[in-house]
Amino acid sequence: MTKQILSAAQKNIILIGFMGVGKTTVSAKLGPMLRRKTVDTDQLISERLQMSIPEIFERRGEPFFRSVEHALLSELQPLSGLIIACGGGVVLRADNRNLLRRMGTVVLLTAKAETIYRRISMRTDLPLLRGHMTLSHIQSMQNKRDRLYRETADLTLATDGQSPAAICAEIAALIRP
């Protein structure tokens, strides 16, 4: 069961979940719908470093990316009223999980591994799946992360078979006007 009223109007709404669950798409739609500014952490990191996410992983390595991601979250912490779409691995660090819980209402978007595979199998911009774009690899990454996503989230929405518009409507209905 979901709590009926999840957040005061000006709390941040934070979207987390595995690659391909639709965080970026949902936040881009939800922003104008709720008249809120959106921040996509991957997009912002990429803009600031003037490199694509795969380039950052390739040239600087994952630990560097994770430290930039953490620094960005810390920078966003004092802000309110935003919709923040996080990269799928943000929950890997315990300090990020704690930060996110303090920063606003954390919405976990989920999808079955089959759904994710269908959505992302042609994408080449996901460094952690390069050379491992298989259903079983996605499943095993999901299994490793599932507990971390769930312990961070205030509410969870399954996106299988749902349009981004339907997911936005569900989130909007749960946020106090």
Asked if 22 interacts with ligand S3P (CB under 6 A), we say no
Task: Give residues 45-74 in contact with ligand S3P (rule: CB under 6 A).
Answer: 53
Asked if 138 interacts with ligand S3P (CB under 6 A), we say no
How many other CB atoms are there within 10 angstroms of residue 61's CB atom? 11
Beta strand pairing status for 155-158 and 83-85? unpaired
Asked if 42 interacts with ligand S3P (CB under 6 A), we say yes
Q: Which of 87, 152, 157, 162 binds ligand S3P (CB under 6 A)?
A: 87
Beta bridge partners of 157: 109
Asked if 126 interacts with ligand S3P (CB under 6 A), we say yes
Asked if 164 interacts with ligand S3P (CB under 6 A), we say no
- Taking contact as CB under 6 A, which single stretch among the options 30-38, 111-119, 122-130, 162-170 is the one that binds ligand S3P? 122-130
Task: Give residues 88-107 in contact with ligand S3P (rule: CB under 6 A).
Answer: 88-89
Beta strand pairing status for 104-110 and 83-85? unpaired
SS (H, E, C) 97-143: HHHHHHHEEEEEEECCHHHHHHHHCCCCCCHHHCCCCCHHHHHHHHH
Asked if 23 interacts with ligand S3P (CB under 6 A), we say yes
Whose structure tokens read 């040239």?
Answer: 59
Distance CA 89, CA 112 (A): 17
Q: How far apart are CB 3 and ligand S3P at their closest, in Å? A: 25
User: Shortest CA distance to 114 belongs to which of 24, 23, 26, 20?
Assistant: 20
At 15, is the secondary structure helix, strand, or coil?
Answer: strand
Tokens representing residue 68 in the block: 């930039």
Asked if 154 interacts with ligand S3P (CB under 6 A), we say no
Q: Measured from the CB atom, is 4 or 125 closer to ligand S3P?
A: 125
Asked if 127 interacts with ligand S3P (CB under 6 A), we say yes
Q: Measured from the CB atom, is 42 or 154 closer to ligand S3P?
A: 42
Contacts with ligand S3P, residue ranges (CB under 6 A): 19, 23-24, 42, 53, 87-89, 126-128
